[in-house]
């Protein structure tokens, strides 16, 4: 990492800023989520790319995935995947946002973002959110990173990207970003420690 080049920090959400709950083997969603990204179950990918509205997902996903579950029950189970914000997240973002422009690039969907907002207002500490269901692309599709670069209009190596999945980190690096893998709040804090030193305040609103 070259801290002197970094002006923008881009986070994944799950396992980076917020926890994710593991689906137990007893959950009705377990077999469905294991198969979710196979071509014959494209409704999940389509939902996370914004090609399927929530009401269609909730009514059609049980049939496609072979689940016996009502739409509202599916909504409850699906939203339980999203955990709580890590306790360190608000202070970390408050510290960084005075000197860097902050954003997130997340493979997600409207139901999970709804659940995340119910767990706290901390998305508002990010200057920009690039969500797969809004931009139409999921990591590690190169188009997802290009959306960020085009929006921020800075050289890619001015962006530090942090994600818990190696394939997503590799995709960011291929796009020219500085990219690091970190899983959990302690690891995220460790990689960001060099950037948390006092710097001149920048207006990145």
Instruction: List, for residues 75-94, the tens digit of each pLDDT value.
Output: 988 888 889 999 999 999 99
Answer for the pair 90, 63: CB distance below 8 angstroms, yes or no: no
**Arithmetic mean of pLDDT over the chain:** 89
54 and 98 in a common domain = no
Q: What is the rounded CA–CA span in Å between residue 19 and residue 121?
A: 15
Q: CA dihedral in degrees (191, 197, 201, 205; nearest 10)?
A: 20
203 belongs to a structural domain:
no
Q: What is the rounded CA–CA span in Å between residue 130 and residue 108?
A: 10
- Taking 70 as the threshold, does the pLDDT of residue 32 lie above it? no
**pLDDT tens-place string over residues 83-142:** 999 999 999 999 999 999 999 999 999 999 999 999 999 999 999 999 999 999 999 999
Q: What is the rounded CA–CA span in Å between residue 168 and residue 145?
A: 10
95 and 182 in a common domain = yes
What's the domain range around 170?
3-20+84-195
120 belongs to a structural domain:
yes
Average pLDDT over residues 173-182: 97
pLDDT at 1: 84
Average pLDDT over residues 2-14: 94
What is the bridge-based pairing of β-strands 101-106 and 8-11? parallel
116 and 66 in a common domain = no
Strand, coil or helix: 162: strand
CATH number at residue 151: 3.40.50.1000
């Amino acid at each position: 990492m070259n801290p002197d080049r970094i002006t923008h920090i881009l986070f994944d959400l799950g396992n980076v800023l917020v926890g994710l709950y593991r689906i137990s083997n007893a959950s009705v969603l377990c077999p469905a989520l294991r198969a979710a990204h196979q071509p014959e179950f494209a409704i999940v990918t389509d939902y996370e790319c914004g090609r399927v509205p929530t009401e269609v997902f909730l009514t059609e996903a049980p049939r496609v995935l072979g689940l016996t579950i009502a739409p509202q029950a599916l909504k409850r189970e699906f939203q339980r995947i999203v955990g709580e914000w890590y306790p360190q997240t608000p202070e970390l973002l408050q510290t960084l946002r005075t000197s860097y422009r902050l954003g997130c690039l997340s493979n997600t969907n409207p139901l999970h973002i709804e659940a995340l907002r119910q767990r706290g207002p901390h998305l508002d500490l990010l200057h920009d959110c690039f969500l797969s269901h809004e931009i139409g692309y999921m990591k590690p599709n190169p188009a997802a990173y290009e959306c960020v670069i085009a929006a921020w209009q800075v050289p890619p190596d001015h962006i530090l990207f942090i994600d818990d999945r190696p394939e997503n980190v590799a995709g960011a690096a291929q796009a020219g970003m500085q990219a690091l893998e970190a899983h959990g709040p302690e690891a995220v804090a460790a990689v960001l420690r060099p950037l948390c030193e006092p710097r001149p305040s920048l207006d990145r609103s």
